[in-house]
Amino acid sequence: MGWRYVLFRARYWLQAKTGILKLRFPKRATRRSLMTIREWRNHKPAFLFDPEKLTVERNAGIIGLKWRVDQMNKGRFRYFSNHWFEVADWHTNPLTGFVYPKYQHWSGVNDLSPKTGDIKYVWEKSRFTFLYDLIRYDFHFSEDQSVKVFELITDWIDKNPVNCGPNWKCSQEIALRVLNWTFALHYYRLSQTLNQLLLDRILSSIYDQMCHVATNIRFSEIAVRNNHLLTEALGLFTTGLQFPCFPESERWRSHGKRLFEREICSQITPEGTYLQFSMNYHRVVIQLMTWAIQLAEFNNEWFSETVYEQADASLRFLRICMDESNGRLPHYGHNDGALFFPLSECDFRDFRPQLIALESVLYRLKESDAVLNEEKEWLGAGQTIDTEEQMEAILDGVFNFREEGYYVVRDAATVTFLRCGNYYSRPFQADHNHLDIWINGRNILRDAGTWLYNADDESTRYFSGTRSHNTIMIENFDQMQKQHRFIWTHWITNAKGKSGTADDGFWIETEFEGFRHVGKGIVHRRRVVKKADQLHWLVEDRVLNVPKGMRIRQLWHPDEGFLDDFRIGAVDEQGFEIPVVLENGWYSEVYGEKSECDVMVYESGGNFIQTVIESRA
């Protein structure tokens, strides 16, 4: 992270302690008319869709959508794709019951206390991603939801004074909220519910929120620099483009576009991998790119060629890692339940709607299912495409992404995924040489997921540590040393790998130097061989320079029913069978939810374990 980061954080901390942040971000709300209702209804800058010319295929049979809107009418809101809570205000954590003070300046809000719990449970409702369900219900069922939508927006404005409370603490959350409000404003642009007074209140709040983002964006540039910064940059670009009535609009538009362009080129590698080592965060960026590229082109603006190249590379990388039968990818890296623009009825873990939307921006899309296409239609994807070129099909074979250390084998409806790469930015999980195996949409050997960011130390170490992955531990030591929250020391070094084909299948060989807090020169080498057209995998682990008296532990996290359908067995270097030990573990399918599961462990006092995984059929 370097001295620039350390000095900036120290200066920022000092500003918070001395009250300078309170001066930079005053509790002062804008109260004026920024645009007439007539000007808004005759809005000139093009948006992602025209509410009078939507090409989405109506479907009044979407039972799940109707049920979710019924829940909202009862005061219940969805959190992280799978949990429902009845929370009447905007400041209560539904898990802990803690209520944040709404008049406290945001710089004094404590978001790391065990008493308060995970602040994401407060931010989730204030993101307003639930607006997409209300808007889609309005469209599909032809039942006007404008009163409900604007009541919720104005209630938030009333209950969240400018620069006060938890919902003003994170600039990314603010920018995302503004993007979602902008989407709703466009959908109801011609609605009779939207009058001058209501428009003035919403635009004034959007202006105040984006002033906060613009003033604080250096924090994300230096201290965060990941999908947070991309969201804020897109917020500035969108706001500057869509609301020319704001005094800073032109500056926000140009600065946001420049930042977004720079960060896409920086955060995504030419191979298409993403710097946060997370499939779900990569999907967040996919949605941001689709929105940004399409909105720019609708307004006769274009990004640099590199942005389109990185988008294309990202699309290819995620397609290669994806199981075609259900659109799922390995549960790899941090997953905080984020899906910024939920515009389809597909499962949260299904990446196809987002990848189809981006593909439609870059290529002439092949025919696909209407359910999978819905997000594409809402985002206007494909309407500006001027090429007949179609995306190349992803064929079976072995794929290397050496820059970030991803190795994938696709063969006979299976996906074999392994990661072993060096860190050029902050690591999030100690998961090197993790092996994920998929068969026809079934994740038979899986990553345990994330659960919560602000959890107890034991749970945090489990889900972010080596023990929740299909790899090797030395005793109970992680590959790196865990510090506070997201911080790891003794980073992995000298990670490398290669892969290829053999007469009877495919192979991957990787190695890294780790466990540096345990001993010197410890190297974990892994070799994986997948037999062609067979459900058969050979995994060989060798660990060099294990400290005397310590044992190596090979970990496997199977799905339910694994042992009914598959055999797994391990031997040491002399060929002696190693008995399996079943330990208790945890699995988190979605953020905020965990369930007990078995972890299969093969333990050896030597330095070598060979394992065979094969079908019982």
pLDDT reported for residue 113: 82
pLDDT band at 179 (very low <50, low <70, confident <90, very high): very high
Q: What span, in angstroms and rounded, lies between the C-alpha atoms of 259 and 236?
A: 9
Which tokens belong to 132? 């997409």
Region for 575 from its dihedrals, namely left if φ exceeds 0, alpha if ψ lies in -120 to 50, beta otherwise: left
Half-sphere exposure of 590 toward its Cβ, with a 13 Å CA cutoff?
A: 13
Would you call 431 exposed, middle or buried from its count of C-beta atoms within 10 A (0-12, 13-18, 19+)? buried
Residues 41/189, Cβ–Cβ less than 8 Å: yes
Q: What is the DSSP pairing of strand 552-556 with strand 595-604?
A: antiparallel
pLDDT (average), residues 406-435: 94
Cβ neighbours of residue 615 closer than 8 Å, sequence gap 6 or more:
534, 535, 536, 565, 566, 567
Model pTM above 0.85: yes
User: In angstroms, what CA-CA distances link 474 with 231, 462, 543, 549, 551?
Assistant: 39, 15, 9, 11, 6
Q: What span, in angstroms and rounded, lies between the C-alpha atoms of 181 and 143?
A: 19
3-state secondary structure string, 438-477? EECCEEEECCCCCCCCCCCHHHHHHHHCHHHCCCEEECCE
Q: What is the DSSP pairing of strand 406-411 with strand 414-419?
A: antiparallel
pLDDT band at 519 (very low <50, low <70, confident <90, very high): very high
- Length of the chain in residues, anyone? 617
CATH number of 397-615: 2.70.98.70
Residues 314/284, Cβ–Cβ less than 8 Å: no
- Residue range 216-242, pLDDT digits in tens: 999 999 998 899 999 999 999 999 999
- Residue range 346-372, pLDDT digits in tens: 999 999 999 999 999 998 777 678 899
Strands (E), 454-605: 472-474, 481-482, 488-489, 493-502, 505-513, 523-531, 536-544, 552-556, 566-571, 577-578, 580-587, 595-604
Q: Is the pLDDT of residue 491 over 80?
A: yes
Could you give the residue range(s) of every CATH 1.50.10.100 domain in the chain? Answer: 37-216
pLDDT (average), residues 296-315: 96
pLDDT band at 4 (very low <50, low <70, confident <90, very high): confident
Residue owning tokens 């969240």: 160
Q: Which residue has the higher pLDDT, 617 or 262?
A: 262
pLDDT reported for residue 1: 63
Q: What span, in angstroms and rounded, lies between the C-alpha atoms of 81 and 344?
A: 12
pLDDT reported for residue 369: 85
Range of weakest confidence among 66-80, 183-197, 418-432, 514-528: 418-432
Phi and psi torsions of 336, nearest 5°: -95, 20
352-362 and 305-321 helices cross at what angle (nearest 10)?
Answer: 140
Q: What span, in angstroms and rounded, lies between the C-alpha atoms of 345 and 382?
A: 20
Which tokens belong to 103? 């008049």
pLDDT band at 616 (very low <50, low <70, confident <90, very high): very high
* Arithmetic mean of pLDDT over the chain: 95
Which tokens belong to 270? 């030419």
Q: What span, in angstroms and rounded, lies between the C-alpha atoms of 58 and 224?
A: 40
Q: Is the pLDDT of residue 387 over 90?
A: no
DSSP element (H, E) containing 400? strand 397-401
pLDDT reported for residue 487: 85
Report the Cα 309 to chain-centroid distance in Å: 21
Across the strands, what pairs with 189? none
Q: What span, in angstroms and rounded, lies between the C-alpha atoms of 486 and 22?
A: 27
- Residue range 268-294, pLDDT digits in tens: 999 999 999 999 999 999 999 999 999
Q: What span, in angstroms and rounded, lies between the C-alpha atoms of 573 and 561?
A: 29
Q: What span, in angstroms and rounded, lies between the C-alpha atoms of 417 and 320?
A: 10
Cβ neighbours of residue 279 closer than 8 Å, sequence gap 6 or more:
318, 321, 329, 330, 331, 332, 333, 335, 351
Phi and psi torsions of 66, nearest 5°: -60, -40
What is the 3-state composition of the chain as percent helix, strand, coil, each rounded to the nearest 5? 35, 20, 40
Q: Is the pLDDT of residue 384 over 70?
A: no
Q: What amino acid is encoded at 224 in this protein?
A: V
pLDDT reported for residue 456: 86
Q: Which residue has the higher pLDDT, 3 or 185?
A: 185
Question: DSSP character for 168?
Answer: G
DSSP element (H, E) containing 131? helix 131-141
Which tokens belong to 610? 């060979």
Q: What span, in angstroms and rounded, lies between the C-alpha atoms of 304 and 262?
A: 9
CATH number of 37-216: 1.50.10.100
Q: What amino acid is encoded at 252 in this protein?
A: W
Q: Where are the alpha helices (DSSP H) in 188-226?
A: 196-219
Question: DSSP character for 7?
Answer: H
Quick one: what percent of the chain has pLDDT higher than 70?
99
DSSP one-letter string for 265-325 = HHHB-TTS-BTT--HHHHHHHHHHHHHHHHHHHHTT----HHHHHHHHHHHHHHHHHS-TT
Could you give the residue range(s) of every CATH 2.70.98.70 domain in the chain? Answer: 397-615
Question: DSSP character for 167?
Answer: G
